């Protein structure tokens, strides 16, 4: 087995195809070397070596010998030697896994410096540069390899600046930096850590540290959040150093080949002169726009432009490029597909197709469906009047509002409790990613468009404002001060991620305008998907919105609200307190015409598209008053003694309402309820049909656990529906089926399918029962699960394919075997979650149904599932 791959202008062993082995960075360094692009030479130690190290705590046999052989090759290529007192080779040691995990793992620069070689470097360049590099190396090595608190080093550096009376690192002189090196040595001593003077020992320790960093908490958390699985480990890139901090003709930068926020086809990035790469990513000094390179160094700019175009053509995707200019000479340090906002992703995909760079299928697969949420969710209402108290950089578009929290842990807690919060930090670090995922939006006082907060938030499709420097954030006291205004924890703010504005209070938000590229992409998705996409809607407003977003039917119209309306609840309560069936029927007869009216509106809007209507589902006690005051008032309205009402309320109390008298159990005990609803549905259908509009009602029985429930109710429904159709005088086809939300219904699908024309998976309740978790109560124990890393995904958001999904697959297979015409869909919230939609495609569903705004997401996911299935 080969553990190290060399890359240089003249000899390159790897290629872009070897990402799994060499990591993204290593593979692309090799690729660029092969393309003849100027890259500092070096070699990549494979991810397999890391995997061996993780497992056994030691290098695989022969690896170190390969490292030494490649080092020798590198020394020969560069004409320098590691540790040489005359011409010392300095190298960087960088991690790089197959999937980019920015900032998660460790990097060591300037390796090879020691008390001897620093003098040689000083001789070859200048003393200030040499000692600055040395102290940087000591700092990084101490922090990354030996785990010394980096604050100690920063403190010593600040001390030197204070003594010298300067603010900027660059203002320190050689003598000062020598002093810093001495101070750093004292820190090592005090911390009882050894700084190895032997460069080979440095190299070995740095490689070990990178290997170990694969298993650190933040890297594990990052992989969990981003659902990165199946990787062996990280590769390690050992590469000759080039310096962006050799004076004003040197610099280092990061740039995208297109605008990652809007998708515009134009270089987008930043350069920081006289700086090393880590300075840019850290966002500590504010860099210059990449355009400034044109005036500063026209040759380098032109060269960069050409390389960017070549790389895009080569990789056929927008690139995120790291580079260094050493004394006017441009080196590429990394290229990779750039992270981007949803708007950018859509625009880039559609434009690249137009440019002929990629084909339609590739364009569809380029946009992560969940990102569309950003495009589809709210923006600030353009008509809303507000005054921003601060303005930062518009790092990730959209609008978000919520209560201020100051720690990632608080954001996580809030997320688990369903509260909406904005995470406010001076700057974010990898430890904060879980909290960022849980917050509605992120606000930082520091950092640029490529700072940690900005990059991560864009990846998450989360509204984010960074570098709002006028904010004074006191994380200890949990306050934000801007001028005279002080905000404290819990105060509500609004962020405009598209402008960078920060606003006190909640500002009205509106639905987004949808771009032409978006429509194009959706039309392509429609062409490739086989899964139909319906919506969960029961009001005319939602129905209209869903149609506008392309819904192909209603997958779930809940009828609860048709009993809750102000004009209906009293009749419903009359139903509940009635003594006999006649009394109940009298009460229902008041609601029935109103329900018919509701259904007529929906049928008219859907104009022949299928409309799946669920019979009443919630337990009756939900319709009864809770407080003493309401109780008295309702008793008066119903003309019943308060004691009687109270007794009824007590009688209906349930220990576990989720598993109680609800769903089809209501219709079994009160058949008149189902009959009245069916009559309203079918009378509405007949009426709309008589108006010349097609109708296609599907009547859905909830909470079936045993086939006998469905067969009983189907008989009842068919009888009532056929009677209504006969009375309506016009033929109306309809279907009867069931929700599958009780595990037993799935386990006995072969029986249930004989009585059903369709199955619609109610994955919310199915997940509650399969997991034995009440969503209402999980706030008490789920935070501990999150804290301990026991939950990969929230199973109420992402369908649990191992458990619930397995039940679903069994159910579909056996249901279809028993009834080959069975129509299968999903109406739980998972119907709009991309990985769950793809699961539904693979499991052979006919359709998914989701909330109106998720319709496009589901469509794109469905198209991708179809294309992925082809591959």
Q: Give the nearer residue to a second copy in terms of CB position, either 554 or 742.
A: 742
| H/E stretch holding 610 | strand 610-614
Positive or negative, the CA dihedral 125, 126, 128, 134 is: positive
Q: How far is CA 110 from the centre of its chain?
A: 35
Helices (H), 772-833: 782-787, 804-818
- CB–CB of 7/44 below 8 Å? yes
Determine whether 827 is an active site residue.
yes
Cα 216 to Cα 200: distance, rounded to the nearest angstrom: 24
Contact (Cβ atoms closer than 8 angstroms) between residue 842 and residue 863:
no
- Which segments of 756-847 does DSSP mark as H helices, in order? 763-771, 782-787, 804-818, 834-842
Q: Which residues pair with 759 in a beta bridge?
A: 738, 824
Write down the least CB distance from residue 556 to a second copy, Å: 18
Which residue's CB is nearer to a second copy, number 246 or number 739? 739
Q: Is 82 left (phi over 0), alpha (psi -120 to 50) or beta?
A: beta
Active-site residue (options: 50, 463, 464, 827): 827
Q: How far is the CB of 802 from a second copy (least distance, A)?
A: 5
Q: Which is nearer to a second copy, 53 or 623 (CB)?
A: 623
Please provide residue 49's backbone torsions phi and psi, each rounded to the nearest 5 degrees: -65, -40
- Residue with Cβ nearer a second copy (660 or 728): 660
CB of 710 to a second copy, least distance (A): 11
Strands 735-740 and 758-761: parallel
Distance of alpha carbon 812 from alpha carbon 846, whole angstroms: 11
- CB nearer to a second copy: pick between 506 and 787: 787
What's the Rg (C-alpha) of the chain?
Answer: 32
Nearer to a second copy, 657 or 728 (CB): 657
Interacting residue ranges for a second copy, rule: CB under 8 A: 652, 654-661, 665, 668-669, 703, 705-706, 708-709, 712, 741-744, 747-748, 751, 765, 768-774, 776-778, 780-781, 784-785, 788, 790-791, 800, 802-804, 806-807
* Contact assessment for residue 97 and residue 234, using Cβ atoms and an 8 Å cutoff: yes
DSSP string of 579-597?
Answer: SSHHHHHHHHHHHHHHHHH
User: Cα(236)–Cα(761) distance, rounded to whole angstroms?
Assistant: 47
**CB of 207 within 8 A of CB of 165?**
no
C-beta closer to a second copy: residue 445 or 572:
572
- Alpha-carbon distance 25 to 99, whole Å? 9
In angstroms, what CA-CA distances link 657 with 574, 630, 772? Answer: 21, 21, 14
604 vs 747, beta carbon nearer a second copy: 747
Cβ partners under 8 Å of residue 352, min gap 6: 316, 317, 358, 363, 366
Alpha-carbon distance 565 to 48, whole Å? 63
Report the residue number, 167 or 651, with the smaller CB distance to a second copy: 651
Q: What is the number of helices (H) and of strands (E) in the chain?
A: 35, 33
Residue from 52, 301, 452, 830 carrying the catalytic annotation? 452
User: Token pair for residue 30?
Assistant: 């090799």
Tell me whether residue 298 or residue 582 sits nearer to a second copy (CB atom).
582
Kindly tell me which of 609 and 621 has the beta carbon lying closer to a second copy. Answer: 621
Q: Which of 657, 664, 769, 749 is CA-nearest to residue 709?
A: 664
Which of 121, 126, 127, 125 is closest to 86 using CA atoms? 121
Least distance in angstroms from the C-beta of 777 to a second copy? 4
Is residue 850 among the annotated active site residues?
no
CB of 488 to a second copy, least distance (A): 23
Q: How far is the CB of 38 from a second copy (least distance, A)?
A: 48
Rounded CA separation 121/180 (Å): 17
Tell which residue, 227, 229, 314, 306, has the closest CA to residue 34.
314
Nearest CA to 550 among 574, 567, 527, 570?
527
DSSP, collapsed to helix, strand or coil, labels residue 235 as strand
d(CA 723, CA 716): 11
Closest approach, Cβ 366 to a second copy, in A, equals 34
Closest CB to a second copy among 21 and 645?
645
Give the C-alpha distances (Å, rounded to integers) separating 820 from 460, 708, 709, 812: 41, 20, 21, 10
Contact 185, 135 (CB under 8 A): no
Q: How many CB atoms lie within 10 A of CB 733?
A: 11
H helix or E strand, kind and range, residue 493: strand 492-496
In terms of Cβ atoms closer than 10 Å to its own Cβ (0-12, 13-18, 19+), residue 849 is buried
Residue pair 255/267 in contact (Cβ under 8 Å)? The answer is yes
To a second copy, the closest distance from the beta carbon of 646 in angstroms equals: 18
Catalytic positions are 452, 827
């Amino acid at each position: 087995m080969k553990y190290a791959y060399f890359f240089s202008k003249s000899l390159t062993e790897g290629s872009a195809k070897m990402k799994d082995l060499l990591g993204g960075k290593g593979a692309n360094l090799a690729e660029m070397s092969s393309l003849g692009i100027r890259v500092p030479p070096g070699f990549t130690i494979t991810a397999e070596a890391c995997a061996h190290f993780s497992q056994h705590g030691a290098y695989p046999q022969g690896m170190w010998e390969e490292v030494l052989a490649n080092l020798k090759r590198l020394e020969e290529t560069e004409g320098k030697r590691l540790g040489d007192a005359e011409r010392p080779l300095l190298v960087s040691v960088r991690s790089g896994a197959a999937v980019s995990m920015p900032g998660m793992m460790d990097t060591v620069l300037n390796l090879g410096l020691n008390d001897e070689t620093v003098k040689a470097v000083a001789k070859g360049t200048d003393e200030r540069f040499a000692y600055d590099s040395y102290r940087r190396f000591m700092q990084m090595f101490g922090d990354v390899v030996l785990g010394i608190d980096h604050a100690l080093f920063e403190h010593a550096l600040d001390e030197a600046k204070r003594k010298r009376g300067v603010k900027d690192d660059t203002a320190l002189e050689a003598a000062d930096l020598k002093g810093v090196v001495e101070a750093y040595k004292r820190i090592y001593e005090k911390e009882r850590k050894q700084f190895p003077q032997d460069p080979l020992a440095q190299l070995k320790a740095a490689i070990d540290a990178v290997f170990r960093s694969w298993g650190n908490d933040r890297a594990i958390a990052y992989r969990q959040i981003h659902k990165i699985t199946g990787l062996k480990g990280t590769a390690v890139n050992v590469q000759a150093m080039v310096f962006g901090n050799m004076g004003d003709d040197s610099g280092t930068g990061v740039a995208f080949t297109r605008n990652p926020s809007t998708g515009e086809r134009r270089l987008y990035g930043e350069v920081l002169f006289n700086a090393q790469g880590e300075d840019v990513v850290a966002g500590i000094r504010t860099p210059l726009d990449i355009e400034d390179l044109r005036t500063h160094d026209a040759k380098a700019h032109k060269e960069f432009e050409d390389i960017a175009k070549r790389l895009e053509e080569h990789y056929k995707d927008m690139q995120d490029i790291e580079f260094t200019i050493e004394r006017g000479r441009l080196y590429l340090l990394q290229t990779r597909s750039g992270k981007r906002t949803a708007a950018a992703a859509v625009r880039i995909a559609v434009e690249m197709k137009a440019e002929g760079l990629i084909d339609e299928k590739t364009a569809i697969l380029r946009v992560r469906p969940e990102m569309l949420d950003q495009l589809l969710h709210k923006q600030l209402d353009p008509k809303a009047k507000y005054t921003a108290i601060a303005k930062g950089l518009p790092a990730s578009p959209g609008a978000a509002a919520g209560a201020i929290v100051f720690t990632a842990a608080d954001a996580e807690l809030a997320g688990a409790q369903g509260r909406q919060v904005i995470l406010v930090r001076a700057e974010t670090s990898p430890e904060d990613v879980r909290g960022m995922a849980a917050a509605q939006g992120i606000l930082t006082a520091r950092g640029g468009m490529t700072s940690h907060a900005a990059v991560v938030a864009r990846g998450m499709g989360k509204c984010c404002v960074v570098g709002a420097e006028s904010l004074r954030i006191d994380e200890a006291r949990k306050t934000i001060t801007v001028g005279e205004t002080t905000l404290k924890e819990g105060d509500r703010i609004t962020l405009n991620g598209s402008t960078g504005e920060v606003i006190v209070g909640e500002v009205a938000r509106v639905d987004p305008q949808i771009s032409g590229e978006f429509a194009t992409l959706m039309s392509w998705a429609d062409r490739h998907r086989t899964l139909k996409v319906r919506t969960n809607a029961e009001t005319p407003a939602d129905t209209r919105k869903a149609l506008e977003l392309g819904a192909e039917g209603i997958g779930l119209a809940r009828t609860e609200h048709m009993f809750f309306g102000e004009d209906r609840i009293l009749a419903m309560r009359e139903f509940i307190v009635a003594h006999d069936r006649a009394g109940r029927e009298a009460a229902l007869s008041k609601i029935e015409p109103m329900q018919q009216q509701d259904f007529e509106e929906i049928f008219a809007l859907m104009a022949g598209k299928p409309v799946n209507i669920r019979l009443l589902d919630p337990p009756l006690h939900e319709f009864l008053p809770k407080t003493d005051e309401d109780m008295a008032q309702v008793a008066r309205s119903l003309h019943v003694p308060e004691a009687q009402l109270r007794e009824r309320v007590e009688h209906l109390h349930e220990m576990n309402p989720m598993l109680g008298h609800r769903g089809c159990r209501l219709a079994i005990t009160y058949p008149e309820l189902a009959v009245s609803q069916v009559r309203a549905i079918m009378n509405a259908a007949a009426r709309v049909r008589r108006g010349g509009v097609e109708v296609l009602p599907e009547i859905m029985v909830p909470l079936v656990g045993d086939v006998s429930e469905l067969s009983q109710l189907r008989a009842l429904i068919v009888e009532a529906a056929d009677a209504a159709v006969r009375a309506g005088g016009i033929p109306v086809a309809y279907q009867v089926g069931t929700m599958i939300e009780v595990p037993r219904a799935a386990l006995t699908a072969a029986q249930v399918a004989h009585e059903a024309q369709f199955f619609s998976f109610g994955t919310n309740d199915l997940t509650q029962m399969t997991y034995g978790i009440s969503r209402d109560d999980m706030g008490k124990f789920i935070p501990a699960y999150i804290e301990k890393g026991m939950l990969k995904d929230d199973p109420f958001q992402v369908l649990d394919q191992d458990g619930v999904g397995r039940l679903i697959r069994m159910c579909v297979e056996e249901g279809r075997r028993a009834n080959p015409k069975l129509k299968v869909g999903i109406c739980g919230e998972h119907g709009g979650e991309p990985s769950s939609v793809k699961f539904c495609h693979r499991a052979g569903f006919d359709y998914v149904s989701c909330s109106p705004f998720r319709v496009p997401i589901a469509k794109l996911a469905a198209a991708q599932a179809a294309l992925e299935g082809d591959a």
